[in-house]
Amino acid sequence: MRRYRNGLKTAVLLGLLTALILTAGYWLGGSTGLGIATVLSLVTNGIAYFASDRIALRTMGARPVGPRQAPELHAMVRELTESAGQPMPRIYISALAQPNAFATGRNPEHAAVCVTEGILRILNRRELRAVLAHELSHIGNRDILISSVAAALAGIVTSVANLAFFLPLGAEDDDAPHPLAAMLMLVLGPLAAGLIQLAISRSREYEADADGARLSGDPLALASALEKIEAGTRAVPLAPEGSAVSQAHLMIANPLAGEGAAAMFRTHPPTSERVRRLHKMAGRASVPALRPLWTPWALR
């Protein structure tokens, strides 16, 4: 039932964002701008639906691995998918040194799970299994498509707002917007898109934590993994100008370094709060010490 309630809330958010795109198009270009915004929305939604997984994996420099290249990783995923009653996703490893993981695809039948070489270096098997359960919960809850579409629509808002730089803003043109309206769209368009994407991502991370902890039966392992990943992402943050930043909201932990005002736009809830909730699920006050275990199959 919760999955359907979340779907309804997400549909409302995406509907509001689509309305914002159309409004921005009209303000910036009148009826012509509205038509362009409509076509652009349809094209981008189609790309986001059918190719979001390939785009994300290519952006992250991920390579597919089979049971021969990563037997333990495949065994963990297969065991968890059988417990969840889900299809087996494709498995990828990214060469990124930063510890992180994400899932992508349009549905469970066309899903992929990717882990970085960095995460394979710092987590033990128990923690890695809990992280995989988290990502499989995103797949089961249909979060992966929602996140991809939200990112695509947010990109449209930014692109349409930026068109104000190239459109005539003269008062003699009845279809042209007032210069102040164009300036507001340049600021408020990307801001609104980012806030809606943030609202979608944060709630789903909490739910995937809870569902993943139930699937793995080990909330403390996920809590321990999140703390290690948080420390790892701070030590090796992604460059804000890098292409992988566009996939930041898909990852299990925020991959970007952000302080002050930038922290307001994090697509993930605070790790400390996520860990607190997992501790509460386990009914314990602290995470037991877990020995890091090097996984030699990570680089095969």
Averaged pLDDT, groups of 10, the chain, 300 residues long: 61 68 74 82 73 85 95 97 96 96 90 96 97 96 76 61 58 54 62 63 88 96 97 85 66 74 65 95 59 38
Its pTM surpasses 0.85: no
Are 93 and 114 contacting, i.e. CB atoms less than 8 angstroms apart?
A: yes
Give residue 218's pLDDT.
95
Dihedral through CA 190, CA 266, CA 126, CA 297, nearest 10?
50
**Sign of the C-alpha dihedral, residues 78, 79, 84, 85?**
positive
Dihedral through CA 271, CA 277, CA 279, CA 280, nearest 10?
170
Please enumerate in sequence order all residues whose Cβ is within 8 A of that of 214, keeping only pairs 6 or more positions apart, or say none. Answer: none
Active site (annotated) includes residue 135:
yes
Q: Which residues are annotated as a binding site for Zn(2+)?
A: 134, 138, 205
Give residue 268's pLDDT.
85
Give residue 135's pLDDT.
97
Give residue 43's pLDDT.
75
Which of 129, 121, 118 minimizes the C-alpha distance to 72? Answer: 129
Give residue 31's pLDDT.
84
Tally of domains in the chain = 1
Considering 135, 172, 259, 273, which one is annotated as catalytic? 135
Helix axes 2-59 and 143-162, enclosed angle (nearest 10): 70
Give the CA distances from residue 43 to residues 47, 51, 55, 153, in Å, rounded to whole numbers and listed in that order.
Answer: 6, 12, 15, 11
| Domain housing 20 | 2-299
